[in-house]
């Protein structure tokens, strides 16, 4: 049961020869949620062997080019590959016209359905739910309207204790109810409490994507105890003023936020092209939060299932 983030692009606005614009794949049990889609995302997806047809949902945090210029190319390739199932794109409302004007020349018979869902920048809200995850958007503060996203696994059914099922001679038909948390009543009217029949399922896992934002300490509540946080860290301490001016976050600030929120894993990215090497950013982040890691493109950051925790 995979729950992992692969970073496809770790650069900020200006890509370098080795760092690509923002793009991230959240793999939840082999369904891919694509988060931001900078130029070259389709090539990065191919390079790291993510199959396009496993992407049904794309989340675009804001309309700076380094977060969406790869979308039209990806959609075009999906069309060329003969996709016919629908795709949902959560994005600022203006994206639809920018993309569709570039796809106008493609005959309707070749097009698949693309559903554009506009983001709300006024308050957090649940924007998507499927059998794997619930996705919540939350506004952050950048130079243009921007949202982050939290992905939470759906709660699992309870795990049955097989020996107990045998001992109480529980019929197959009763098991779905027991997995859902019900007690079992024997033919003699005896009540077997659910906790004698089941154990807690693994905790639902969670991932949060901060998007481009100025440092917002108050986000700690929203991000409380997520398993994995990807936060931008465009600058180091040396460019704190520039971070404030351009509404970005430093590595140290992002790490402080992660610590305050009690997140379990932190991955930092969206690095300025000014930094040829990133050791200083890593060091500054680790001073605040020892578990901080710098994103390496193509690397997959997994969240393990915590089984039978109770």
Residues annotated as catalytic are 66
- Look-up of token digits 């995850």: 133
Question: Quick check: 92 binds a copy of itself (CB under 8 A)?
Answer: no
Binding segment for a copy of itself among 67-75, 170-178, 229-237, 295-303 (CB under 8 A)?
Answer: 67-75
- Euclidean distance between CA atoms 164 and 183, whole angstroms: 13
- Euclidean distance between CA atoms 236 and 277, whole angstroms: 11
- Euclidean distance between CA atoms 87 and 82, whole angstroms: 13
- Euclidean distance between CA atoms 237 and 243, whole angstroms: 9
Question: Quick check: 15 binds a copy of itself (CB under 8 A)?
Answer: yes
- 4, 27, 88, 102: which one binds a copy of itself (CB under 8 A): 102
Question: Quick check: 160 binds a copy of itself (CB under 8 A)?
Answer: no
Could you give the angle at which helices 279-288 and 251-261 cross, rounded to 10 degrees? 30
Question: Quick check: 269 binds a copy of itself (CB under 8 A)?
Answer: no
Question: Quick check: 147 binds a copy of itself (CB under 8 A)?
Answer: no
DSSP state of 67: G
Question: Quick check: 21 binds a copy of itself (CB under 8 A)?
Answer: yes
Q: Which is nearer to a copy of itself, 6 or 198 (CB)?
A: 6
Q: What is the DSSP string of 205-265?
A: PEEEE--S----TTHHHHTTT-SEEEEE--B-GGGHHHHHHTT--BHHHHHHHHHHHT-SE
Question: Quick check: 47 binds a copy of itself (CB under 8 A)?
Answer: yes
Task: Report yes or no: 309 and 202 within 8 Å, Cβ to Cβ.
Answer: yes
Minimal distance, residue 40 CB to a copy of itself, in Å: 4
Strands ordered across the beta sheet of 114-118: 114-118, 87-91, 55-59, 31-37, 23-28, 3-9, 300-302
Number of residues that bind a copy of itself (CB under 8 A): 30
Binding segment for a copy of itself among 68-76, 151-159, 239-247, 288-296 (CB under 8 A)?
Answer: 68-76
- 29, 53, 84, 101: which one binds a copy of itself (CB under 8 A): 101
Binding segment for a copy of itself among 42-50, 150-158, 203-211, 229-237 (CB under 8 A)?
Answer: 42-50
Question: Quick check: 81 binds a copy of itself (CB under 8 A)?
Answer: yes
Question: Quick check: 117 binds a copy of itself (CB under 8 A)?
Answer: no
Question: Quick check: 69 binds a copy of itself (CB under 8 A)?
Answer: yes
Minimal distance, residue 65 CB to a copy of itself, in Å: 5
Minimal distance, residue 105 CB to a copy of itself, in Å: 7
- CA 130, 132, 137, 142 dihedral sign is negative
- Token code pair at residue 290: 């020892």
- Token code pair at residue 167: 């001992």
Question: Quick check: 244 binds a copy of itself (CB under 8 A)?
Answer: no
DSSP state of 187: T
Site track for a copy of itself across 125-144, x = CB under 8 A? -------------------x
Binding site for a copy of itself (CB under 8 A): 13-17, 20-21, 39-40, 42-43, 46-47, 63, 65-66, 69-70, 72-73, 76-77, 80-81, 97-98, 101-102, 105, 144
């Amino acid at each position: 049961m995979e729950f992992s983030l692969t970073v496809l692009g770790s650069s900020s606005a200006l890509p370098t020869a080795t760092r690509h614009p923002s793009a991230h794949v959240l793999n939840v049990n082999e369904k891919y949620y694509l988060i931001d889609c900078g130029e070259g995302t389709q090539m990065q997806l191919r390079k790291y062997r993510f199959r396009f047809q496993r992407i049904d949902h794309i989340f675009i945090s804001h309309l700076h080019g380094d977060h969406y210029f790869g979308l039209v190319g990806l959609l075009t390739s999906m069309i060329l590959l003969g996709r016919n199932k629908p795709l949902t794109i959560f994005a600022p409302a203006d994206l639809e016209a920018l993309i569709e004007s570039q796809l106008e020349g493609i005959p309707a018979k070749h097009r698949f359905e693309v559903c554009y869902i506009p983001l709300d920048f006024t308050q957090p809200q649940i924007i998507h739910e499927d059998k794997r995850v619930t996705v919540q958007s939350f506004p952050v503060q950048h130079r243009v309207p921007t949202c982050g996203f939290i992905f939470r696994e759906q709660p699992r059914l309870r795990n049955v204790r097989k020996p107990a099922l045998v001992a109480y001679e529980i019929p197959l038909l009763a098991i779905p109810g027991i997995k859902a948390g019900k007690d079992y009543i024997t033919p003699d009217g005896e009540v077997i409490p659910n906790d004698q029949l089941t154990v807690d399922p693994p905790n639902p896992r969670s991932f949060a994507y901060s998007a481009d934002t100025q440092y917002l300490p108050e986000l700690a509540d929203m991000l409380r105890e997520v398993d994995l946080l990807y936060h931008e860290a465009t600058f180091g301490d040396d460019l704190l003023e520039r971070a404030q001016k351009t509404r970005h976050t430093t590595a140290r600030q992002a790490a402080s936020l992660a610590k305050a929120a009690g997140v379990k894993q932190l991955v930092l990215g969206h690095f300025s092209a000014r930094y040829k090497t990133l050791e200083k950013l890593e060091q500054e982040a680790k001073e605040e939060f020892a578990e901080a890691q710098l994103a390496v493109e193509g690397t997959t950051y997994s969240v393990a299932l915590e089984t039978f925790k109770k």
